[in-house]
Structure 1
Amino acid sequence: MDILDAVVIGAGQAGLSSAYHLGRRGLSYLVLDADQGPGGAWQHRWDSLTMHDVHGIAALPDSRAPGLSERRASEVLPAYFAGYEREHAIPVERPVRVERVTDEEGLLVTRAGERTWTSRTLVNATGTWSHPFVPRYPGMETFAGEQLHTADYPGPEHFRGRRTVVVGGGASAVQLLGEVALVADTVWVTRRPPVWRTDDFTPDAGRAAVALVEERVRRGLPPASVVSVTGLALREQERAAEARGAYARRPMFSSVEPGGVRFPDGSFERADVILWATGFRPAVTHLGPLRLRSPQGGIQLDGTTAVADPRVQLVGYGPSASTIGANRAGRAAARGVARWLDTARASA
């Protein structure tokens, strides 16, 4: 039986960064990726998202990120990731959808159908894209129109002439409103009033935001998104929607009816479409057998190391779920793997 030093689950930015640093340390590892091809979540983003919109994308280690352009991010970044995998000879097997990870006699066994991989440590880099979150509201099942999540966004033309309720207070809601409001009547609803950022988002501000999310996972709380800390900002391409009043937010509705949504004050908004821009949750159900969750409901981390089981590193979780923290997390994860292996060898 081959025993690897580490198995990396996920080949997005955090997974590839971790793989690069594991390789630099001379450790044996394999990356398992659920997608058909390279690119992580970027290959699934909506077509109107261009490289101008994702200018904050961090370069992978020992690499230069693609520059600004009008090309689709869903084309450019997968090609960039594919080239990176080739250039650094990163061993990736795909498509492999991991179902569970178990502890067997002190080793970690990663399972996907009939296939298994055995390792001394694990780097989980599954991110959030595969776990879209839609909250439950009374009457949702009665809605006669269409309900979509951000993960299924087909582009603005799909909404032309259709009255659309956009739900969510994050960056995705703001961006999609900026497109849909130009071709359809829209209503924006959020649980809390949006917090708008008026200053420039500097590198120092980014690091401060990541630090606040890190504090949550250090305490074992479910991670918050980085944008919930940084606040929202309108890009130039969203100014036309702003001029149409698209960002006049209403508080959250209390129920859904066949023809629209009902608010706590009794008022009603007709709708043909409800677009749930309500975010994602960490894709960590396959780690359930390892019992990593804290009593507070999250996975408590010390850096990227799971406090409940230091053989496990989590990247693309909490602060490293954004491009701001992904590369730093990859380096930290490789360091955590090496530290565990050194400790295990010393005590053998």
Structure 2
Amino acid sequence: MTQRTNVVVIGGGQAGLAAGYHLRRLGIEHVILDAQAAPGGAWQHTWDSLRLFSPAQYSSLPGRLMPSQEGELYPDAAHVVGYLADYEKRYELPVQRGVRVSAVHRDGAQLRVEGDADDWRARAVVSSTGTWTRPFIPAVSGRREFTGRQLHTVQYQAPAEFTGQRVVVVGGGNSGAHIAADLAHAGVDLTWVTQRPPRYLADDIDGRALFDVATARRRALEAGHTDTGGVASLGDIVAIPPVRAARDAGLLRAKPMFTRLTTTGVEWADGTRADVDAVIWCTGFRPALAPFASLRLRATWGHIATAGTRALDEPRLHLLGYGDWTGPAPATLIGVGRRPARETARQIRELLA
């Protein structure tokens, strides 16, 4: 069956809900298609100890402050899931669950969105599919020969499953540091490897400051000023309390990245080897943009070319909630709603007019 609406938002996580909020405020008919069975986006699937980088009041979507979590300065993932579920209900956002979008096609003056059961025809589409479903693992020599366990950030849950094992954590970003700290505090035999020495942000910097830095960089670039470097210029790892504690206790000593995997472990450039039971790849993600392959849009490094959130080669398509190529801090709760989602809704209103 084919359904019609003005706007289809693909993805019902934080970016999709922020888009829905602003579209609703402008009175624009829309539907939000989400593949998940329940509210909460990727936050439903994170590891047990994950915390936000910012206090609750600095991690809110537009229109409703996130309530504080009792006893916690930085809320955990379950608290975020509850907030997103409440947000969706509060604003009566038109989310349809369990809908997987396979492709988006041009269809005259409209875009046709193919679902696994129904199709939708819309005058504009907002992609808010995020990155969680596209984990990236580098092509390291010997990866297929290693006989131990390999998993990505998306599959990690808790240290208990690695009790008595030797574990290598790969990655010098936030996920790598946080998971390494999680294992170290639990007494797991840990080796942490990074491409370059870990770069911690100052201990007093959290998400509140990071959003301001990202916004300042965006404004400088738009004004034609010198690139300030943004968040990347400050460091790679937010020193939240568990990471700070593990670092200060000497539990987070990073080694250089190994050159290959052996059948039983890892080997470094100098020939040093270590037997390990598991490798956890905290090596990032790629945008989940497969449904848009049929539009044949220009892309660089997997990023569709955009002006703000609008695709340059298809002005009826907006990309919301990815890297900073789609707005300042768009992959954060506070960042996506403050500007990118609002501007997206305004541009769609102009298109529809």
Counterpart for residue 293 of structure 2:
288
SS of residue paired to 2:192: strand
* TM alignment of 1:135-150, pairs within 5 A: 135-150=138-153
**Structure 1 residue ranges without an equivalent (≥5):** 217-223, 343-348
CA contact (8 A) 2:306 2:312 kept: yes
Q: Specify the alignment match of 2:327 in structure 1.
A: none
- What is aligned with 2:20? 19
Q: Distance in 2 between matches of 1:214 and 1:253?
A: 39
Instruction: Report the counterpart of residue 169 of structure 1 in structure 2.
Output: 172
Q: Is the contact between residue 304 and residue 336 of structure 1 (CA under 8 Å) also seen in structure 2?
A: no
Structure-2 change in CA distance of 1:229 and 1:293 (3 Å): farther
| 1:298 pairs with one of 300, 303, 313 | 303
1:228–1:81 distance in 2 versus 1, CA, 3 Å = farther
Q: Distance in 1 between matches of 2:220 and 2:301?
A: 13
- Cα 1:213/1:159, change in 2 over 3 Å: farther
RMSD across aligned positions (CA): 2.7
Q: Counterpart in 2 of 1:7? A: 8
Pair 1:108–1:59, CA change in 2 (3 A)? same
- Assess if the C-alpha contact under 8 Å between 1:313 and 1:336 holds in 2: no
Paired AA for residue 316 in structure 1: G
Write the distance in 1 (CA, Å) between the matches of 2:276 and 2:218: 35
Distance in 2, matches of 1:186 and 1:168, equals 13
Whether 2:59 is the aligned partner of 1:61: answer no
1:190-229 alignment to 2 at 5 Å? 190-198=194-202, 200-201=204-205, 203=208, 205-209=210-214, 212=217
TM-score by length of 1: 0.88
CA distance in 1, matches of 2:25, 2:120: 22
CA distance in 1, matches of 2:219, 2:102: 27
Is 1:77 the counterpart of 2:87 in the alignment? no
Structure 2 unmatched ranges of 5 or more: 222-228, 325-329
Matched, 1:258 2:263: yes
Distance 1:53 1:17, change over 3 A: closer
Whole-Å separation in 2 of the counterparts to 1:52 and 1:212? 20
Change beyond 3 A, Cα 1:225–1:154 = farther
User: Please, which of 306, 317, 326 is the counterpart of residue 336 of structure 2?
Assistant: 326
Matches of 2:214 and 2:5, distance apart in 1: 35
CA deviation after TM superposition for structure 1 residue 150, in Å: 0.8
Distance 1:227 1:156 in 2: 29
SS where residue 110 of structure 1 aligns? strand
Distance 1:246 1:336 in 2: 49
Q: Identity rate of aligned residues, in percent?
A: 38
Aligned to 2:251: 246
When structure 1 is superposed on structure 2, of 228-237 and 116-125 the one drifting more is 228-237
Report the residue type matching 1:193 in the other structure: P
Change (3 A) 1:27 1:52: closer
d(CA) in 2 for partners of 1:180 and 1:148? 15
2:225 aligns with none
Question: By how many angstroms is 1:253 displaced?
Answer: 1.2
Q: In the comparison of the two structures, how many residue pairs are matched?
A: 336
Q: Is the alpha carbon distance of 1:207 and 1:243 closer, same or farther for their aligned partners in structure 2, counting shifts above 3 Å?
A: closer
In the TM superposition, 1:223-238 aligns within 5 A as 230-238=235-243
Distance 1:297 1:271 in 2: 33
TM-score, normalising length: structure 2: 0.86
Q: What letter matches 2:289 in structure 1?
A: V
Residue 35 of structure 1 pairs with residue 36 of structure 2: yes
1:17-40 C-alpha deviation (Å, 9 max, x unpaired): 110110111111000001000001
